[in-house]
Each structure stands twice: as C-alpha cells, then as structure tokens.
Amino acid sequence: MASLGLLVAGLGLFAANTNANPLDKRAAIDTCLSSAKVPVYTSGSADWNQAIKPFNNRVTFTPVAYAVPATVKNVQDAVQCGAQNSVTVTAKSGGHSYGSHGLGGENGHLIVDMKNFNSVTVASDGNSATIGTGGRLGDVATALYSQGKKAISHGTCPGVGVGGLSLHGGYGLISRSKGLTLDNILSAEVVLANSTVVTASPTDNPDLFWALRGAGAAFGIVTNFKFKTFTPPENNVFFSYNFNFGSASQMATALTVLQNFTRFQQPPELNLRLFIAPGTNLAGVYNGDRSSFDKIMTPLLSQMGISGAMGQVTAGAGWISTLSNFAYGPLQQAKVYDTHETFFSKSLMPDWLDPPAITALSNYWAANARGNSRAWYLLIDCHGGNSSAISKVGADDTAYAHRNATFKMQFYDRTYFGNYDNSWMSFLNGWIKAISDASPGKTYGMYINYADTSLSKDDAHTHYWLGHYTKLAQLKGVYDPKKVFEGPQLVGS
C-alpha cells in the first residue's frame, strides 16, 4: 500500500510539470555547483535542515539544492548552473515570506541564500548606505546607527530580510514621512537570468529599476542596494491603548473615524496601527513631542471611544529604543534564526472602504471572528492618506501598485498547537469575501509581502500588481525570457 501511495504521488509530480520531477536534477546541479566552487549546504546536512525551515511552518518545500554564495561570482555561477539545467532559481534573504517564497514557493528550486551579503556601509557624506540583501532589519538598524546615527525606512520585525522587504514594499515606523523601503532605493546591483551583473538605477536600466521596486523576485538576484539614509528623530512618543469593541456597530464607527482620520488628517509624523484580536489595541509612534501628540490624538481617541486611561504613552524616546519597543525581542539577531509560526494570512490594501464594506467587515468580526479561539488577528496599518510620503510618489513611478491605499490590512490566523488544518482557511477567506461582496465593481489590492497562498496565479497577479501587471509581464520577457526566476505567484509565472 505504502509503495503504491508513493508511486501515485510521484505520478502526480510528473503530471504537474511538463519536465521531469525537478528533484531528479539534484545530481546534475550538485555537480555544476561543485565544479564552479559555489559553497552549498548539502541535502540532509544539519545546516540544510535548519536552512529549509520556513518562517511559516504551514508551508514547507524541498529545494533541489541550496547555495550559500560568498561572492558575486558565486551568485552568477549558481544562476548559470540553474539556467543550464533548467532548474528554477530563487533568492532567499531573511526567509520571512508568508508563502515561503524564499524557498521557491514549491518544491525543486535551487535556493541562493544571501546570508553572507550582510554588510552595511554608510557613505562618507552620511547621505546613503550600501546594504547587502541578506542582512536582517534589526542588525541593519543597529549598524546604521553605529555609523553616525543614521537610519533607513524599514519594517518592524528585526528578523525580516532586506531583500524581500525592499523589493516588494517595506512599511514601518517612519514610512508615512520617509516612504516605503523601496522608495529609498537609489540603486541596486543585480545578477540577471543570463548571469551578467548590472546596476539598476534611474539612469542605468531604468525599466529594470522600475520592476525591481515592487516585483523584484522575478527579475534577478539583488546582491546589494544603495539606500538614501536620514538622521532619525530622537524625540519620539510611542503609545499603546487597549480597549474592546462591544458590538459590530461600535467597530464600524471606530473604523469609519479612523479611515477618515488617516485619509484626511493624520500628519506624516504619526505612524499608527489598529490591532484587532480578541482584544483591541491602537499603537504607534509619533515623531515629535508629547504636547503635539496630545493635540492630534485627543480628538481621535474620543471619536473612537478610547479613554486616555486605557493607554501607555512614552515620550522622549530615542530611535533605537523606539525600534526596540516594537521588535518584541532583541533588535540584533542570533546567527541561527529560529523563530517560526504556523499560520495562514491574507491582506487587503483598500484605497477606501465604503460604508457597506465597513459594515460587512464588522459584522463578520462579530459573527465569526470574535468567538474564534485560535490566535487570529486583524492588523490595520494606517499606511496612506493625503499626507503620507507613500501616497505622494506617483502611482506609476514604481511597480509597487498600492500608492493610494489608505489602510494596509493583514488578516492572520495561527495555531500554537500542532498543524494548521486547511479547512480553517475558510475563516479568513470568508472575511475577505464578505468585504469584497459588499464592494461591487471593486478590485482591492493585496500585498505580496503578506503572500496569500490561497490565491491562484492569475488572482495573485491581479491583486498584487493591479494595473502594473501588463508592463511587468512584458519586462519579464526582456530580462528573464527563459523564466529562470519563477514561483507560483511571481510575475510571468
């Protein structure tokens, strides 16, 4: 029986790919990497077993081979080995993709782990820094600060990698005044599918530079970026208010107020998020002093039904303590990263939620979420609005397609006990469906950095890249005609 099962599984793999099982290419790839002297983790070794553990335990894949280059030449040779053997090549930086896209998003990829490309060098004029894609955000922030108290705009979680974050978005504690991480890229060094190394910038390969900033994984392996740096504010207020919604209508009122605030009133110095779990929390950072903070927040809190007594407010915080407060762990990362969760996640990037959509969202919460005992949450980042640096970049200036999103919404459902049962996916799928059904004629954006494994290829393309997909697919044909860099949801897949 067991061998029959294996046989059937094997046939399934053959049927799904027009080529043979990509894992059958292991011997050929190993030989190629070895003769080019590309460092690897050998399949089955302790390093390999650790390295292929994804952040999301729900989504595991087996690579055909795992390269750990030390030089740009090693990256070029690895790409060439993949291309010559018709094996798909995938770059991995921090390995934090929700869909394990850094492990290929499917079995049988040649993984190119950028962990050794982790240097951080601030230029002598202090206005830019060259940063390897394999660096982790906490280490990068610490290194930038140690070189003349500099910073870049980036996400909150210290274990996230520079590569995936910067190529597809990058929202964090200072994005509303400094833009997304990708808005601060001055240039990138890229190994292309034909294994040549090029620079992408506003003047060198500008169309590649456009595509990298929102859809980078499909266009090459970036070894490092030059980023614009700034001197971070040292007088910050961070705050956190805990409260509860008593009913769906109370939630709808609060969301209506918050959406209007973000779109029309929220100053760029205020970075804010609403975290809805069994309890509710409004938290964030204001880059300024306590009295200006109070002037802005007091009316918002009262309209949302939150009393000051529900809050903890810390004023006068320096940049590093501000980052640390939201890191939920040490800012600097251990050599072996070993934090994992077991979850399914979805996103929505609404430009605007009309009243029926807010009602549907809130009713679904009351009927289906509030009583759900798994560790789910809905995180609403107040990302955009008319004062946000993110919204001020032209809609078509980068491949990132969500410039006029007011909210960045992350729906996350996890279990702390054993495996995630796939039937549970209907909980979040139903939540998005309820909002979509209440928004006829509307196509909401979604964020590939919160990769949703339930999306079909076509739906992923539509929601991640909206009106930019056609141009991306055309550029894919120019830069990677043989589809060396592929994945189930990437451009041109």
Ligand X SMILES: *[C@@H]1O[C@H](CO)[C@@H](O)[C@H](O)[C@H]1NC(C)=O
Ligand Y SMILES: Cc1cc2nc3c(=O)[nH]c(=O)nc-3n(C[C@H](O)[C@H](O)[C@H](O)COP(=O)(O)OP(=O)(O)OC[C@H]3O[C@@H](n4cnc5c(N)ncnc54)[C@H](O)[C@@H]3O)c2cc1C
Cβ 406 to ligand X, closest distance in Å? 7
Give the one entry of ligand Y, ligand X, none that residue 115 binds, where binding means its C-beta sits below a cut-off of 5 to 8 angstroms depending on kind. Answer: none
Q: Rounded to whole angstroms, how far apart are CA atoms 378 and 375?
A: 11
Cβ 269 to ligand Y, closest distance in Å? 18
Angle at 463 between CA 462 and CA 467, to 5 degrees: 55
Residue of 74, 97, 205, 324 that binds ligand Y (CB under 6 A): 97
Per-residue DSSP letter, 151: B
How many residues bind to ligand X according to rule CB under 6 A?
16
How many contiguous H segments (helices) and E segments (strands) does the chain have?
16, 16
Sign of CA dihedral 128, 134, 137, 142: negative
Nearer to ligand X, 320 or 389 (CB): 389
260 binds ligand X (CB under 6 A): yes
Q: Rounded to whole angstroms, how far apart are CA atoms 485 and 104?
A: 9
194 binds ligand X (CB under 6 A): yes
Residue of 65, 79, 120, 160 that binds ligand Y (CB under 6 A): 160
Q: Rounded to whole angstroms, how far apart are CA atoms 485 and 476?
A: 10
* Binding range to ligand Y, per CB under 6 A, among 157-165, 257-265, 366-374, 387-395: 157-165
Nearer to ligand Y, 63 or 233 (CB): 63
H or E element: which one contains 317? Answer: strand 311-317
Give the one entry of ligand X, ligand Y, none that residue 260 binds, where binding means its C-beta sits below a cut-off of 5 to 8 angstroms depending on kind. Answer: ligand X
277 binds ligand X (CB under 6 A): no
Sign of CA dihedral 353, 357, 361, 363: positive
Residue of 22, 108, 135, 169 that binds ligand Y (CB under 6 A): 169
Cβ 372 to ligand Y, closest distance in Å? 21
| CB atoms inside a 10 Å sphere around CB 298 | 11
The residue to which tokens 């990263």 are assigned: 337
The answer to whether residues 173 and 322 touch, using CB atoms and an 8 Å cutoff, is yes
Per-residue DSSP letter, 309: G
Cβ 109 to ligand X, closest distance in Å? 21
Q: Rounded to whole angstroms, how far apart are CA atoms 299 and 264?
A: 14
- Ramachandran assignment for 246, one of left (phi > 0), alpha (psi -120 to 50 degrees), beta (any other): alpha
449 binds ligand Y (CB under 6 A): yes
* Binding range to ligand Y, per CB under 6 A, among 150-158, 246-254, 411-419, 432-440: 150-158
141 binds ligand Y (CB under 6 A): no
199 binds ligand X (CB under 6 A): no
91 binds ligand Y (CB under 6 A): yes
Residue of 127, 196, 312, 426 that binds ligand X (CB under 6 A): 196
55 binds ligand Y (CB under 6 A): yes
Q: Rounded to whole angstroms, how far apart are CA atoms 96 and 110?
A: 18
Tokens read off for 273: 């998020």
The residue of the chain with the least Cβ separation from ligand Y equals 164
- Give the residues lining the site for ligand X (CB under 6 A): 192, 194, 196, 256-257, 260, 264-265, 351-352, 386-387, 395, 404, 478-479
Residues in contact with ligand Y by CB under 6 A are: 55, 90-98, 101-102, 114, 133, 155-157, 160-161, 163-165, 167-172, 216-217, 221-222, 449, 487
